[in-house]
Amino acid sequence: MTYIKTPVKGMRDFLPKEMELREYVLNVMKETYENFGFELIGTPTVEHIENLSNNQGGENEKLIFKILKRGEKLENANLADLTTLVDSGLRYDLTVPLARMYANNMQNLNYPFRAFQIGYSYRAERPQKGRYRELMQCDLDILGEKTNLAEIEMIIAVVTFLKKLDFKEFKIKINDRRILKAMVDYAEIPSAMIDEVLISLDKFDKIGKEGVEQELKENGLKETSINKYLTKAMENKTDLKTFCQNLPIDQSVVQNLEEIIENVNENVNATIVFDPTLVRGMGYYTGPIFEIMADNFPSAIGGGGRYDEMIAKFSNKEVPACGFSIGFERLILLLEERAYQIAQPKEKICYLLKKETSAEEKAKVINIANKMRQQNKIVKIVVKSKNYKYQKETLTNDNYQIIEEW
Amino acid sequence: MTYIKTPVKGMRDFLPKEMELREYVLNVMKETYENFGFELIGTPTVEHIENLSNNQGGENEKLIFKILKRGEKLENANLADLTTLVDSGLRYDLTVPLARMYANNMQNLNYPFRAFQIGYSYRAERPQKGRYRELMQCDLDILGEKTNLAEIEMIIAVVTFLKKLDFKEFKIKINDRRILKAMVDYAEIPSAMIDEVLISLDKFDKIGKEGVEQELKENGLKETSINKYLTKAMENKTDLKTFCQNLPIDQSVVQNLEEIIENVNENVNATIVFDPTLVRGMGYYTGPIFEIMADNFPSAIGGGGRYDEMIAKFSNKEVPACGFSIGFERLILLLEERAYQIAQPKEKICYLLKKETSAEEKAKVINIANKMRQQNKIVKIVVKSKNYKYQKETLTNDNYQIIEEW
C-alpha cells in the first residue's frame, strides 16, 4: 500500500491563510453581485462528455479530464476505441454547464435571468506558475437580455467588485465580433478563413505585428489582404466611430458599442477603450467582447462577451446571453503579490491548559470558552505541548490572546 | 452534435432558491466553527487513485469515479488491464485528502490543528431519494489532540451550529471502538472476525436482532458466542459503567467516555447516550465514535470519531486525530421539509424600463441604480417583456419593489 502525500499534479491544497483570502474575496464578490440582482446557481463538476467535446476545439479537447464508465457499461465498452470507455468528464468552464442548466430549467427561472456561478473547472494543461489544473472560476451572466443593458450592468458590477479589493485604476478593452468580421470582409479575406485570422490576431500581444503577418502568410492569405487587414487593425484604436467609417458594418453595431462605453464611463472610474485587436478565445461570442485590467498588471483579470447562439444549441430556443468571467486564480495571485491584508474583526482567545489540569478544571474552562463563543469571539482550548515556547509563539503570531491560569 | 440538457445521472443543478439555502447554512456553519478556532482548508476534488483505492473496501472501490490518463501515458497503457488506464479519481470523502494534506504540510500548520473542510465528494451509487453521486460534505477535525478535549469540543461545536438552524432536541449516540472490541473478546469470538461482526451489528437498526443473529451464524460463529454477544449488546444501554463492568477493558477507556458525556451534558442541551450497538461504517476508527440526531428525525445528521492511526499511513508520524462529518445533503433535505425560511434583510428594487426608453433615460436609471447599490440594496434593471404581467408577478413574488416611471 503506497500512499502519496502530495496533491495530484497541477492541483493544490489550500492552507488556512490561503483559504482565508479566497473566502474573503468570494464573500466580497457574492455581496457585490447580489446587489446587482444576480442570483447564485450551482452545476455539477462532472458534465456529459458529449457537452464537453462538442464545445471545445480539437486542441482543447485534449485538456479534458475524462471519467471512465463503471460496471456493466465499462465491461461492454470496445477497448479498440477509447472513446467508448468514457461517459463524462470534468467541466472545462462554467459557461457550458450554465447554458445546459438554463435550457433545462428555463420555465422556473426569472426572465431575464441574472445568474452568477462560482466553482472549479479542470484543464489538463502543462502546469506552470499561475496555471493550474483545478482552477476556480467566477462567472456572471445575463440570459434573456438582448439590449446592451446586459454588457453595461456586468462591466459596472465587476469594476465595483474589484474596487472593494482596493484596485484603483481600471482599463477596459472592448470590441465586437461583428467589427472583427467586418475587418475581415473589408480586407477581402474569404469568410471561411475568419477563425484562423482571429486565432492569429489574438496572439498580437505575444508575437507582434510581424508574427501575425507571418502566420497569415502561412495560412495562404493574399499579401494585399494581409496588408489591408493589418493596416486597419493598427489604426488609432480609441476612436470607434472613425475606425468603423470605412468598414462594411451596420451603424447600429457601432452605436451599441458607443452606448456601452458612455454608460460605463459615467458610472465607474475606468478607462474604457475600443481595441480592434481584442479577440477573446472562445468561438461562441457573437457581439461585444471585453476584458478588464487593473493597476497596470500586464494581463487581464477577467473578460467576457455576448454569446447569443449558445442556449439554442441545448434548447432549440433562442435566448440572448452575455457573460463576464473573473480569472479568480490570477486575482488571488495579484492580491498575494501586494500582500493584501484582511481585517479580522473578531477577538481571538486561547486557553492554554497544563497537562495535569484536572477533569473538573478542564470542564470549567470548556464552559467559559463556550460563553465567550456565544459573544462571537474565536476561542480555542489547547493543551500545552512539549515545545511550549513554539506553541505560544505561533498562537501570538495568529493574534490569539493566551490565557494560562489553569 | 447532440447536446444533453439534463445533468449527469445522480448529480444536480441548483436553482437560486436552493443555492440560497445552501449558502445560508454554510455561512452559519463557517461562523460557528470559526468561533471554535477551526480553520478552513481546501483540498483538490481529484485524488491519486492509490490513495482512493487503498482506503476503501472492495465494495466501495466500485463507487469511485476514475479518471483516464492523458496523452502518452494513455497511449502506453495496457488495454488488457483497465487499472493501467487510470491515474486518479474523484475523492470519495474528505478525510483521506485531509490526512494527505496534513501529512504534507504538518510543519506549516498549528499543532494541534483545528481544521474544517467543505466540499463535494463523489460516489457512483445507484441514485435514490436523498442519495446523490455528487454530495457536499462538511468535516470538522482536530489533529494532534490526544485527549478527549477533541471529542468534547467538536460535539459542542456541531450542536451549537445545528441550534442556530432552529433544531431543538438533540440526541447523541456514543460508543468506543475499544468497547466494541472488548464485547467481541468477552463473547469469545476470534479477534480476526471483528470486521464481519461489526458489519452485521451496524445493520442492527435495519435487520433487527434476528437478522444480526442470522448473519453471524452464516459467518460460522459458535452459537454460544452469538448468544453471549447479542445478550451483551442488548443490555440496558445508557449505563456505561455497569455495562463495562464484566468486559475485558481498561478502565481509562470507560473513564474517558464518561468525561465526554459529562462535558457535553454540561455545555449543550442534548441527550447523550451510550449505545453499544453504534458501529459507524469506516474501518479506520480507533476510539470514541458518535452520531448526532435531531428533532426525532430517524437518521443521523452527522457522525464521527477518533482515528489515531491514519495520518501515520501518509507520513510515518503518529498524529492523534478526531473528526466529525455533517451529512450536508440530509441537513438541507430536513430544512426544506420543514420549509425553513431565511431572512433576506436587504431591500430589493427593480426598475422596469419601457422598450422605447431612450438611451439618455436608460443612462439616468443605471446611474440611480448604482447609487442604490452603494447603499447595499439589491437593485436590478429590467426591460419590459411581452409577457409583462407575468414579469411583474414574478418580481413581486421575489419581493422586488417595482419602479416603472421610465
Model confidence pLDDT, tens digit, residues B115-148: 999 999 999 998 888 789 999 999 999 999 999 9
Smallest Cβ–Cβ distance between A380 and the set B36, B382, B383 belongs to: B36
Kindly identify which residue of chain B lies nearest to residue A375, measuring between CA atoms: B35
| Predicted pLDDT of residue B296 | 84
CATH number at residue B21: 3.30.930.10
Burial class of residue A347, CB neighbours in 10 A (0-12, 13-18, 19+): middle
| Contact call for residues B272 and B264 (beta carbons, < 8 A) | yes
Q: How far is A221 from chain B (nearest CA, A)?
A: 30
Torsion sign, CA atoms B328, B334, B339, B340: negative
Of A293, A265, A32, nearest in space to A138 by CA:
A32
Please give the residue of chain B at the shortest CA–CA distance from A123.
B70
Question: Domain check: are A122 and A223 in the same one?
Answer: yes
Among B42, B120, B350, the residue with its CB nearest the CB of A14 is: B42
A-chain CB neighbours of B347 within 8 Å are none
Residue A359 lies in a domain: yes
Taking CB atoms and an 8 Å cutoff, what residues of chain B touch A377? 35
Residues in chain B: 406
Q: Print pLDDT tens along chain A (406 aa).
A: 579 999 999 999 999 999 999 999 999 999 999 999 999 999 999 999 999 986 544 567 789 999 999 988 888 888 778 888 999 999 999 999 999 999 999 999 998 999 999 999 999 998 888 789 999 999 999 999 999 999 999 999 999 999 999 999 999 999 999 999 999 999 999 999 998 999 999 988 889 899 999 999 999 999 999 999 999 998 865 689 999 999 999 999 999 999 999 999 999 989 999 999 999 977 789 999 999 999 988 889 999 999 999 999 998 899 999 999 999 999 999 999 999 999 877 999 999 999 899 999 999 999 999 999 999 999 999 999 888 898 899 999 999 999 998 7
Question: Based on the domain organization, do A298 and A218 belong to the same domain?
Answer: yes
Q: Which of B279, B305, B337 is the last residue of a domain?
A: B337
Q: Are residues B83 and B188 in the same domain?
A: yes
Residue B168 CA to its chain's centroid (Å):
20
pLDDT at B351: 96
Q: How far is CA A89 from CA A53, A69, A287, in A?
A: 9, 10, 30
Residues 6+ apart with CB under 8 A from A72: none
Q: Is residue B235 located within the same domain as residue B105? A: yes
Q: Do the domain assignments include residue B210?
A: yes
Q: Does A62 touch chain B (CB under 8 A)?
A: yes
Confidence of residue B194 (pLDDT cuts 50, 70, 90): very high
The Cα A136–Cα B169 span in angstroms is 39
Are B221 and B192 a contacting pair, CB within 8 Å?
Answer: no
Last residue of a domain, which of B337, B357, B381?
B337
Pair B144, B222 in one domain? yes
Q: Is there a single domain that holds both residue B354 and residue B234?
A: no
B7 DSSP 8-state letter: P
Q: Degrees (nearest 5) of the Cα angle B118, B122, B124?
A: 160
Q: Which of A140, A370, A372 to mutate against chain B (most B CBs within 10 Å)?
A: A370
In a domain, A54, yes or no: no
Instruction: Judge whether A309 lies within some domain.
Output: yes
Instruction: Kindly report the pTM of this predicted structure.
Output: 0.94
Q: Is the dihedral of CA B296, B297, B301, B306 positive or negative?
A: positive
C-alpha cell at B18: 436552493
Q: What per-residue confidence (pLDDT) applies to A299?
A: 87
Q: For residue B147, give the chain A residue with the closest CA.
A: A383
CB neighbours of residue B337 within 10 Å:
9
C-alpha distances out from residue B305 to A320, B126, B288, B323, B357, Å? 52, 27, 5, 6, 63
Which residue, B291, B311, B337, sits at the end of a domain? B337
Give the B window 87-116 contacts with A, CB below 8 Å: 87-88, 90, 97, 100-101, 103-105, 108-112, 114-115
**A12/chain B closest Cα distance in angstroms:** 6
pLDDT 10s digits, B225-267 = 999 999 999 886 668 999 999 999 999 999 999 999 999 999 9
Closest-CA distance of chain B to residue A230, Å: 34
Is residue B9 domain-resident? no
Indicate the pLDDT class of residue B1, thresholds 50, 70 and 90: low
Shared domain for A148 and A210, answered yes or no, is yes
Count of domains for chain B: 2
**Chain B partners of A313 at a C-beta cutoff of 8 Å?**
1, 3
Cβ-contact A243, A237 below 8 angstroms: yes
Residues of B in contact with A366 (CB under 8 A): 149, 152-153, 156, 263, 266-267
- Tell me which range, A42-56, A379-393, B158-172, B336-350, is most confidently predicted by mean pLDDT: B158-172
> Residue B327: pLDDT band by 50, 70, 90 thresholds?
very high
Contacts of A50 in chain B (CB under 8 A): 2-4
Contacts of B392 in chain A (CB under 8 A): none
> Are residues A263 and A374 located together in one domain of the fold?
no
Q: Is residue B33 part of a domain?
A: yes
C-alpha cell at B26: 454554510
**CB distance B70–A62 less than 8 Å?**
yes
Residues 237-276 of A with CB under 8 A from B: 259, 262-263, 266-267
A–B interface: beta-carbon pairs under 8 A: 287
Shared-domain flag, residues A240 and A125? yes
Nearest CA-CA distance, residue B87 and chain A, Å: 9
Question: Which chain A residue has its CA at the smallest distance from B51's CA?
Answer: A3
Contact B363 A112 (CB under 8 A): no
Q: What values do phi and psi take at A75, rounded to 5?
A: -60, -35
Residue A290 covered by a domain: yes
pLDDT in tens, A334-375: 999 999 999 877 999 999 999 899 999 999 999 999 999 999
Cβ separation A1–B54 shorter than 8 A: yes
Q: Are residues B321 and B373 in the same domain?
A: no
Residue B5 covered by a domain: no
| pLDDT of B56 | 47
CA distance B389 to chain A (A): 12
Cell of A162: 474589484
Shared domain for A275 and A366, answered yes or no, is no
Mutation site for A-interface testing, chosen from B35, B107, B266 by largest number of A Cβ within 10 Å: B35
Both B119 and B256 in one domain: the answer is: yes
Per-residue pLDDT, B374: 93
Give B59-75 pLDDT, tens digit per residue: 677 899 999 999 888 88
Nearest to A42 among B19, B97, B110 (CB): B19
Domain containing residue B395? 348-403
Q: Using an 8 Å CB-CB cutoff, list chain A residues near B114.
A: 380
The alpha helices in B192-292, defined as continuous H runs, are 194-202, 204-218, 223-233, 240-244, 251-267
Rounded to whole angstroms, how far apart are CA atoms A95 and B129?
Answer: 28
C-alpha cell of residue B249 = 477493558
Closest partner CB to A41 (pick from B15, B43, B68): B15
Q: What DSSP designation does B375 have? A: T
Give the nearest chain B residue to A120 (CA atoms). B45
Give the ranges where B107-175 is alpha helix by DSSP (H): 149-164
pLDDT given for residue A2 in this prediction? 76
Sign of the Cα pseudo-torsion (A78, A83, A85, A87, in order): negative
Interfacial A residues in 113-142 facing B (CB < 8 Å): 114-115, 120, 122, 124, 133-134
